[in-house]
Amino acid sequence: STGKRRQQSRNRSNHPQEAHKGPGHTDYNSSDQKTACRKHELYVSFRELGWQDWIIAPEGYAANYCDGECSFPLNAHMNATNHAIVQTLVHLMNPENVPKPCCAPTKLHAISVLYFDDNSNVILKKYKNMVVRACGCH
Amino acid sequence: GNLVDFNNDLQLHRRLRTHEKREMQKEILSILGLPHRPRPHLLNGKYNSAPLFMLNLYNTINSEERNEVDGILDQYKSMFTTPGPPLATSQDNAYLNDADMVMSFVNLVEYDRELSPHRRHHKEFKFNLSQIPEGEAVTAAEFRIYKECVSSTFRNETFLLSVFQVVGEHPDRDADLFLLESRHLWAVEEGWLDFDITATSNLWVMSPHHNLGLQISVETSSGQNISPREAGLVGRDGALERQPFMVAFFKVSEVHVRTAR
């Protein structure tokens, strides 16, 4: 019931202890939470790769990645496609043959990279889908 | 290390082994669509007008995330003591909104060739467009040259600056030129001049053997040919951040398919 959920949500936000949990937090038990599909932070440093002589900017970028389990209940805070729900049901009925849905990016973001080529010409290129903004079950 | 996972309990914060680093480099190069790591011969190239112009464009598109890049930009900008780095115009910003890639090209002409007496004041410019990634189409291109204020003999003069595309070269006579644009300039005016060379660039990209460069000439109002330097136009002997260069805006015309490795 959406009405009931809205009520719960209101109660939760009024609870002082919940203030530290951040956006999108839900009350699954801690072991579920650890393995649930979510975005992980991952910074790719061009400087550490020893490329500062040809990549002018940026110094690196937060690429991020998705990892975790996609199993019932598909966490309310996370994007799950309709098909992911069907996939989960079929997996539950036939776990040997049908895999669980995949934990994958649902929102991607572009970055621009400024670099020299072999002729010392400078290239500014927009690379689409470089940064994972959000993860979900597909 | 290269990989820092802030939230995961396992913490992947460690230095990559040499072969891991090499693999990582290979993967990131593949993501960037580059066959190998570029090895630019920079010397003074880093402090040239073209990289500065590009940094300005980079700054424009990253203005929302300005805080993250300010460190790098400040680092570059602090290298320059003289004023007048090339700034992007509103026209450039319009091109930029529609572009997937922007590329600046440095002038490759290092020494003036001896031209005929009739053209002894002409200046030549050449640009290497051979490394444009496949599938990129030129949507706009500009030739940019800086003009300083003239304070000598020609102070009250008006100049006629002409930009030509070299369409044919001959061993025994002058090159064939095609006039791209002529523009009147005041002796006292100062700043970047940009000339639209979109059609020329498209031709150069499609038929590299037609890329014979550009020439410029300057005449006074009385029709006297003078050296571009006398008209305040900055050449190779001028300040690095005011060197002439070419910039081209590209739009991806093909879907880039990464090959399986």
**Tens digit of each residue's pLDDT (9 = 90 or more) over B142-185:** 999 999 998 777 778 899 999 999 999 888 888 899 999 999 99
Confidence of residue B203 (pLDDT cuts 50, 70, 90): very high
Q: What is the pLDDT at residue B174?
A: 86
Averaged over successive runs of 10 residues, the pLDDT of chain A (138 residues) comes to 39 39 44 76 89 91 92 70 89 93 92 90 90 92
Q: Region B86-91: what's the mean pLDDT?
A: 62
Selecting from A48, A67, A121 the residue whose C-beta is nearest the C-beta of B106 gives A121
Percent of chain B with pLDDT over 90: 38
pLDDT of residue A130: 92
> Does A59 lie at the interface with B, CB-CB under 8 angstroms?
yes
Average pLDDT, chain B: 80
**B128 in reach of chain A (CB within 8 A):** yes
Q: What is the pLDDT of residue B13?
A: 57
- Of A65 and B92, more confident: A65
Q: pLDDT tens for residues B132-145?
A: 877 788 999 999 99
- What distances in angstroms separate CA B261 from CA A12, A49, B19, B33, B111, one per listed residue? 49, 21, 17, 13, 45
Instruction: State yes or no: cis peptide before A58, omega within 30 of 0.
Output: yes
CA atoms of A78 and A104, how far apart (whole Å): 11
Lowest mean pLDDT among A38-42, B22-26, B66-70: B66-70
CB–CB of B72 and A120 under 8 A? no
Q: Is A126 within 8 Å of B71 when comparing Cβ atoms?
A: no
pLDDT of residue B109: 87
Q: Check pLDDT > 90 for residue B234.
A: yes
Contacts of A57 in chain B (CB under 8 A): 55, 58, 69, 72-73
pLDDT at B258: 57
Q: What is the ipTM of this complex?
A: 0.77
User: By the CB < 8 Å criterion, does B28 face chain A?
Assistant: yes
Which H or E run includes A61? strand A60-62
* CA closest to A35 among chain B residues: B8
Q: Which of B3, B61, B104 sits opposite A121 (nearest CB)?
A: B104
Q: Does B206 touch chain A (CB under 8 A)?
A: no
CA distances from A57 to B36, B41, B248 (A): 18, 18, 19
How far is A43 from chain B, CA to nearest CA, in Å? Answer: 6
Compare CB distances from B2 to A45, A57, A113 and report the shortest one's residue: A45
